[in-house]
Amino acid sequence: MKAIFAAAILNGVAALGFLAVSAPAHSAVPCEEMLKDLRAAKAGTKLGDADTKKVNDLETKAIERCNADDDMRSDNFLADAMKIMGK
């Protein structure tokens, strides 16, 4: 009985591991595309010093996450930066 229970637990863990590996990463837009959009918006927007610093900091964080293939978090940083610019 213990062997059957242990086997069931192992099968359940293996199934969960398979789901985690096979689940597609969520990202509506590739971070590289959003980064291009942000840079274009920055070029056409006048911001105060404080807002410029916030946008630049968010862009730096987004680039770091994009390089780490974490598009969802990168996209979130870029969306926040776009909000600051009113885009």
Cβ neighbors of 54 (< 8 A, separation 6 or more) are 81, 84
pLDDT in tens, 4-19: 654 556 555 455 454 4
Q: What is the pLDDT of residues 39-84, one digit of tens each?
A: 999 999 999 999 999 999 999 999 999 999 999 999 999 999 999 9
Task: Write down the residue that tokens 């730096």 correspond to.
Answer: 60
List, in order, residues 6 or more apart from 38 with CB less than 8 Å away: 55, 59, 62, 78, 81, 82
Report residue 20's pLDDT band, with 50, 70 and 90 as the boundaries: very low
Give the model's pLDDT for residue 34: 94
The answer to whether 11 and 45 have CB atoms below 8 angstroms apart is: no
